[in-house]
Structure 1
Amino acid sequence: MKIKSLKYNFFMATIRMMTGILFPILIMPYINRVFNPVIIGKFEYANTIVTYFVIFTYLGIPTYGVREVSRYKNSKIKLSIIFMELLLILIITNIVSYLFYFLFIFYFEKNIELKFILYLFSINILFTTIGFEWFYQGIENQEIITKRAVLIRIISIVLIFIFIKEEKDFIKYILIYNLAIVGGNLFNLYNLKKYIVINRAVFKRIYPVKHLKSILIVFSSSIAMIIYGQMDIIMLGKLSSMKDVGIYSTSIKFIRMLTSIIPLFGTTLLPRLTNLYYENKIEEYESTLNKSLKGLLMYSILGFTILILIGDRIIQVFAGENYLESIVTLRILAIITILSGISYFLGIIILYSQKKEKIFLNSLILAAFSNLILNYLLIPQYKQNGAAVATIFAEILVILSVILFYKKYLHNIKILTRNNFKYFIASFMTCLIYYLLLNKIELPNIYLDILIKVMLIITSYLLFVYIFKEDISKEIEKHIRLSLKKLKTK
């Protein structure tokens, strides 16, 4: 099997993630003006509920599958066996998940309208799990899933602007949202025939039970992550109001837009890192880890800087006047962009590539329980801002527990080195320049104002990174010089 280069896969994954960020940015101003916070709250509440059932159905296979598929990608027979084993597990979990999902709707959800919305969302469970993105990531073919994702997102945007005009179009909006999931994943399903074979020899060697122990550990980690990543919305819905859910979900949506880029480091690097570690190429393994850490820090600190500086303008433009309470919540949550990057690096990129997922699970369980307790204590009084503080505390606990108790597995990787600290200094200098020169300048066109300010913030930040002679900037400069030299020789 021809393997695409790491740079090409990273480039394709970046395109997919960037369009994933742009999609909600493009539709949010429109959707938030068509639907009030209560309607948005119902949508997010139902979407969060179905997300829990999707997590259960996946059973940790997306993360586990990437690693295992990457180990057998050079043998079509072995690749087919591992795929069929994981597919059989997914079929069983789908049946169980649908049973409990409909029982939940029937016995626990009393609101008739929410019941109907949850029934509409039910199709997500099946079609999310048959997307098989983990398979394509494992064979290091980001191209297929990227082309599919971009096409489906463009179609969805067009459909939303054509058919969503007023509040009574809420059901149409849910159907279009579901259509994007269904259509995209059917493409992935169709393309599988190129990579796997289904015959008697493959079926005779299938033994899915051997995967259960590792899958359950990964699944437990996913549950713990979802508890402190999604439980805030559920608890807000139960302990506060749907309006607060709408306000909070608007803020967290911007955070997730930025942090959605973070997993592309894992999905792109994990197959390669796994091979390096088990082939005992430790020097190359550590070098790749250090580069990925620098990339994560450079990106996440830049995201934090943008949210802190123009978070208020972003809410005003992309959410509207009904969501101004989200500004404070967004600024509280901004630090999550940095914390998520670090915890993902420690837990997924390092520990998971070494098959130490159980260690990461211990940290996540601690964080999940603390998040649950803090949400219960803070939400009744501080509402969406209390949920934000609880989420931050959970992320900090994950990082500290891994560093303090499991540092022997981190090899020679250190987070707060002198070189890495330059990103924080670049952020501070950018903030200083913004408040001195740009803060009081506002262009008549608010969209142009935000665009220009975002570009100036990014330029300023990257310029300071370059001035401080940070390692990644040196490497980029080296590549540019080599490219220019090749052009001149031609």
Structure 2
Amino acid sequence: MKVIKNYLYNAGYQILLMLAPVITTPYVSRVLGANNNGINTYTNGWVTFFYLAGQLGISLYGNREIAYQRNDKFKRSKTFWGIISLQVATSSIVLITYLLAVFLFSSAFKTYFLLQALWIIAYGIDISWYFMGMEDFKKTVSRNTIVKLITIALIFVLVRNQSDLAKYIFLLGFAQLAGSFTLWPYLKNNIQWVSIREWHPLKHFYPALLLFIPTITTQIYLVVNRIMLGRMAPQAAVSQFNFGDNIVKLVLAVVTATGTVMLPHIANKFASGDVKGVRESLYKSFDFVTAISTPMMFGLMAIAYKFAPWFLGSEYGPTGGVIFWEAPAILMIAWSNVTGTQYLMPIHHEHEYTISVTIGAVVNIVANIFLISLYGANGAAIATVISEFAVTAVQLFYIKGTIRRRALFAPIWRYLLSGLFMYIIVSRINLIMSMTIINLALQVALGIFVYVICLFMLKAPILKQAKALIKK
């Protein structure tokens, strides 16, 4: 039940993340315009590499290590002080390097690059990994919810026209920084002070670095699309791709919330030698993410072309194509979230995980070179799907000796067939209906109804999980 509760906390926050853009994105896309939104996307893409370098792989490493030491307060405290001191030191070095790079090499957008530096500071003091390792998601979710709501209000108050781009970038970075600060008071009763001589931060450097490699590699093929578009296409195309990609990823966030919750849970099972429990958790998790990601994928594809210009404005008509072509990545990422984040990472198979995401990054860059020049923003979306497929395929190859892949995929056809039938009906309805908030709600409700009915008719395994949850 604790895992379910944590998932609901995390999924609830991910739903808030979905609702926030529903409120702010139509406003920001129109007020700032496609060009200014493209500048924000481009400059934030560059700073992403820096703040990830400062944090190393501590977000994943700290989560896992705290989960291992959860039941021993002294060891847990010693691990925390060692990891956070390393994180602050590396982030400080990266911040200095970033500022020097901006002053020496940036002629255009210098002010915006400097404002983006807030993200480096925010991640340098972020300790959400500690509470995730403790499987205490309530604190991080509560903190992030309050900060997110305040940020939304300030965007509407302070961002009023195209000259307010600097204010918008500052608000986003400051919100992240404020969120990181507000977690520190919760440490008071969770850890104890440990002598500095006991911290040994450097002992965490190498294992965190091993997790940094897949983290930064993953970001390469998440951010490189925007950077390559910025070099090969107008800034408006960057903005059009970015909003489409964000919509897909926000829907996906409800699915990947399982990875954040399951990583410390499985790490704790693995540390206690419960191999059978690890496998059973993975089979159920794979079935669950497939069941919820399939209708999300087909649903977005069904409404994409009418939804984008209605939601974002007429400037963003091409975003509909981005959403349509990138939607299959939802299913690919859902699967790799189980095989990679929920299995390979907790059981110390970082090497295999690193290889999979490295291959994905290489495939993404090569695909972008050819597809962006041919299809622009749509090409970047297709490249994303191809790279995510490569990651999933490699990870499935690596788990073949311990996890029965046939058991994972046996019920998949039921979900895909149900989703396809839902897509046909919703897309037909979408063609004849104008796009309004009421019509959109009706299409979503119809899609859910059709999908659930199909699951019952095909006797999908997820229904057994739902029945067991209701009984509990």
What TM-score results when the alignment is normalised by the length of structure 2?
Answer: 0.95
Counterpart secondary structure, 2:376: helix
| TM-fit CA distance, 1:432 | 2.7
| TM-fit CA distance, 1:103 | 2.5
Q: Report if the CA contact (8 A) 2:68-2:271 is conserved.
A: no
Aligned to 2:353: 360
Q: 2:370 aligns with which of 364, 368, 377?
A: 377
Q: 1:337 aligns with which of 309, 330, 333?
A: 330
Q: Report if the CA contact (8 A) 1:466-1:474 is conserved.
A: no
- Is 2:74 the counterpart of 1:77? yes
Aligned amino acid, residue 418 of structure 2: A
Map 1:10-89 → 2, pairs under 5 A: 10-89=7-86
Distance change in 2, residues 1:315/1:387 (3 Å): same
- Is 2:304 the counterpart of 1:311? yes
Aligned to 2:436: 446
- Is 2:93 the counterpart of 1:96? yes
**May I ask how many residue pairs the two structures share in their alignment?**
472
Aligned to 1:160: 155
Aligned amino acid, residue 466 of structure 2: I
C-alpha distance in 2, partners of 1:96/1:274?
Answer: 31
| TM-fit CA distance, 1:439 | 3.2
- After superposition, give the CA deviation of every residue in 1:458-477 in whole Å (9 maximum; x if it has no partner): 22212322332222212323
- After superposition, give the CA deviation of every residue in 1:233-252 in whole Å (9 maximum; x if it has no partner): 01111222211111111111
C-alpha distance in 2, partners of 1:43/1:346?
Answer: 33
Q: 1:470 aligns with which of 456, 460, 463?
A: 460
Aligned to 2:390: 397
| TM-fit CA distance, 1:145 | 0.8
Counterpart secondary structure, 1:194: coil
| TM-fit CA distance, 1:426 | 0.9
- After superposition, give the CA deviation of every residue in 1:102-121 in whole Å (9 maximum; x if it has no partner): 1221233221xx11001111
| TM-fit CA distance, 1:28 | 0.6
Q: Which runs of 5+ in 2 are unaligned?
A: none
Aligned to 2:117: 122
C-alpha distance in 1, partners of 2:370/2:424?
Answer: 36
Q: Report if the CA contact (8 A) 1:130-1:189 is conserved.
A: no
Map 1:474-489 → 2, pairs under 5 A: 474-480=464-470, 482=471
C-alpha distance in 2, partners of 1:53/1:208?
Answer: 20
C-alpha distance in 2, partners of 1:21/1:414?
Answer: 34
Aligned amino acid, residue 461 of structure 1: Y
Aligned to 2:249: 256
Q: Report if the CA contact (8 A) 1:351-1:409 is conserved.
A: no
Q: Report if the CA contact (8 A) 1:286-1:412 is conserved.
A: no
Aligned to 1:428: 420
| TM-fit CA distance, 1:441 | 4.2
Counterpart secondary structure, 1:221: helix
Q: Report if the CA contact (8 A) 1:61-1:215 is conserved.
A: yes
Distance change in 2, residues 1:269/1:381 (3 Å): same
Counterpart secondary structure, 1:465: helix
| TM-fit CA distance, 1:413 | 4.4
Counterpart secondary structure, 2:254: coil
C-alpha distance in 2, partners of 1:189/1:19?
Answer: 23
C-alpha distance in 2, partners of 1:191/1:338?
Answer: 36
C-alpha distance in 2, partners of 1:478/1:71?
Answer: 29
- Is 2:217 the counterpart of 1:227? no
Aligned to 1:144: 139
C-alpha distance in 1, partners of 2:64/2:6?
Answer: 16
Distance change in 2, residues 1:388/1:401 (3 Å): same
Q: Report if the CA contact (8 A) 2:270-2:346 is conserved.
A: yes
Distance change in 2, residues 1:154/1:439 (3 Å): same
| TM-fit CA distance, 1:179 | 2.6
Aligned amino acid, residue 113 of structure 2: L
Distance change in 2, residues 1:293/1:380 (3 Å): same
Greater mean deviation of Cα atoms: 175-184 or 353-362: 175-184
C-alpha distance in 2, partners of 1:371/1:102?
Answer: 29
Counterpart secondary structure, 2:141: helix
Aligned to 1:267: 260
What TM-score results when the alignment is normalised by the length of structure 1?
Answer: 0.92
C-alpha distance in 1, partners of 2:455/2:242?
Answer: 33
Aligned to 2:287: 294
- Is 2:122 the counterpart of 1:132? no
Over the matched positions of the two proteins, sequence identity in percent amounts to 24
C-alpha distance in 2, partners of 1:205/1:58?
Answer: 21
Distance change in 2, residues 1:408/1:478 (3 Å): closer
Aligned amino acid, residue 331 of structure 2: I
Aligned amino acid, residue 133 of structure 1: S
- After superposition, give the CA deviation of every residue in 1:357-378 in whole Å (9 maximum; x if it has no partner): 1111112112212222222233
Counterpart secondary structure, 1:196: coil
- Is 2:458 the counterpart of 1:461? no
Q: Report if the CA contact (8 A) 2:9-2:141 is conserved.
A: yes
| TM-fit CA distance, 1:435 | 4.3
Aligned amino acid, residue 439 of structure 1: N
C-alpha distance in 2, partners of 1:418/1:344?
Answer: 19
